[in-house]
Structure 1
Amino acid sequence: MSNIALGIECRNENADSWRAWRILHAVFPVTGYLALACPRDVGCLADDHSCTPFACTRRSDALRAALQAAEISTEGSLEMFVTILNCATVVIALFTLAMVFKTRAEQEKLRRRQKRAETRHAAVLMNEFRQIAAFLELRDLLQPVRPLPMLREWAISPDFGLLLVDLIDEHRPRVIVEFGGGSSTLVCAYRASQATNCGIHSYDHDDSFAQRTREQLQKHGLDSHAEIHYEPLRPSQFLDDAGEVIEWYGGGSIENLPADIDMIVVDGPPSHLNPWARYPSLPAVYDKLSPDCLLILDDAARKSEQQVVERWLKEFPEFRLQSPSTEKGAAVLVRGSRSISI
Structure 2
Amino acid sequence: MADGEGDGEHVTRGFVRGEVDQLMRDLAAHRYLSDQLADGRFMPAGRGWAARDEAVAVMVDTLLHSTRAGNVLEVGGGQSTVWLSLALARRGSGTLFSVEHDLTYLRRTQDLVNRLGDRQVVSWCLAALESQGTAPPWYALDNVSLFRDVELLFVDGPPAHVGPKSRAPALSRLRSTLMRGATVVLDDTTRVEEREISREWEDAGLHKTLELGNAHVFVYDP
TM range (shorter): 0.7 to 0.9
Confirm or deny: 8 A CA contact 1:145 1:220 kept in the other structure. Answer: no
Match of 2:28 in 1: 133
1:215-246 CA distances to partner (integer Å, 9 max, x unpaired)? Answer: 1221235111111211110124xx6xxxx132
Deviation of 1:132 after TM superposition, in Å, equals 2.1
Cα distance in 2 for residues equivalent to 1:275 and 1:107: 38
- Percent identity, please: 23
C-alpha deviation, 1:144, in angstroms: 4.9
The alpha-carbon deviation at position 191 of structure 1 amounts to 0.9
Alignment of 1:322-333 (within 5 A): 322-326=209-213, 328=214, 330-333=215-218
- The residue matched to 1:294 in structure 2 has which SS? strand
In structure 2, what is the Cα distance between the partners aligned to 1:109 and 1:311?
Answer: 36
Q: Name which of 198, 208, 229 aligns with 2:94.
A: 198
Q: Determine the C-alpha separation between the residues in 2 that align with 1:251 and 1:174.
A: 20
1:83-139 deviation per Cα after TM superposition (whole angstroms, max 9, x unaligned): xxxxxxxxxxxxxxxxxxxxxxx3896555544444443333333333222222221
**Following superposition of structure 1 onto structure 2, how do residues 47-66 of structure 1 map, counting pairs within 5 Å?**
none
User: Which is strand-richer, 1 or 2?
Assistant: 2
In our comparison, the structure showing a higher alpha carbon Rg is 1
CA-CA distance at 1:269 after TM superposition: 0.5
Native 8 Å contact 1:232 1:249 kept in 2: yes
Q: Normalising to structure 1: TM-score of the pair?
A: 0.58
Moved more, 107-116 or 217-226: 107-116
Match of 2:116 among 217, 220, 227: 220
Which of the residues 207, 210, 213 maps onto 1:320?
Answer: 207
Question: What amino acid is aligned across from residue 163 of structure 1 in structure 2?
Answer: V
Aligned-partner Cα distance in 2 for 1:259–1:265: 15
**Given the alignment, which residue of 105, 112, 128 partners 1:209?**
105
Tell whether the 8 Å contact from 1:180 to 1:202 is kept in structure 2 after alignment.
yes
Match of 2:221 in 1: 336
In the alignment, which of 177, 181, 193 is matched to residue 304 of structure 1?
A: 193
Contact preservation (8 Å) 2:145, 2:177: no
Cα offset, 1:257, TM superposition:
1.4
- Alpha-carbon distance between aligned partners in 2 of 1:309 and 1:115, rounded to the nearest angstrom: 29
CA distance in 2, matches of 1:283, 1:107: 51
1: CA distance, partners of 2:90 / 2:174: 26
What is the aligned residue count? 221
Is the Cα contact below 8 Å between 2:207 and 2:220 reproduced in 1? yes
- DSSP-derived class of the 2:65 partner: helix
The DSSP-based 3-state class of the residue aligned with 1:259 is coil
Q: Which amino acid aligns with 1:133?
A: A
Equivalent residue number for residue 90 of structure 1: none
- Aligned 8 A contact 1:296 1:332 in 2: yes
Residues 297 and 196 (structure 1), Cα distance of their counterparts in 2 relative to 1, 3 Å cut: farther
Partner residue of 2:165? 276
Cα pair distance change 1:122/1:264, threshold 3 Å: closer
The verdict on how the C-alpha distance between 1:148 and 1:118 changes in structure 2, with shifts beyond 3 A counting, is same
Instruction: Give the whole-Å Cα distance in 2 for the aligned partners of 1:333 and 1:112.
Output: 35
Distance (Å, rounded) in 2 between the aligned partners of 1:230 and 1:274: 20
SS of the residue corresponding to residue 136 of structure 2 reads: strand
Question: What runs of 5+ residues in structure 1 fail to find an aligned partner?
Answer: 1-105, 338-342
Asked whether 1:250 is paired with 2:140, we answer: yes
Instruction: Name the counterpart of 2:54.
Output: 159
After superposition, where does 1:177-196 map in structure 2 within 5 Å? Answer: 177-196=73-92
Check conservation: 2:98, 2:124, Cα contact below 8 A: yes
CA separation of 1:133 and 1:259: change in aligned 2, threshold 3 A:
closer
User: What do residues 1-44 of structure 1 show as CA deviations (whole Å, max 9, x unaligned)?
Assistant: xxxxxxxxxxxxxxxxxxxxxxxxxxxxxxxxxxxxxxxxxxxx
Give the TM-score of the pair, scaled to structure 2. 0.87
Q: Structure 2, unaligned stretches of length 5 or more?
A: none
User: How far does residue 202 in structure 1 lie from its aligned partner after superposition?
Assistant: 0.5
Amino acid at match of 2:139: Y
- Name the aligned partner's letter for residue 219 of structure 2: V
Task: Flag the 1:293–1:221 CA change in 2: closer, same or farther, 3 A.
Answer: closer
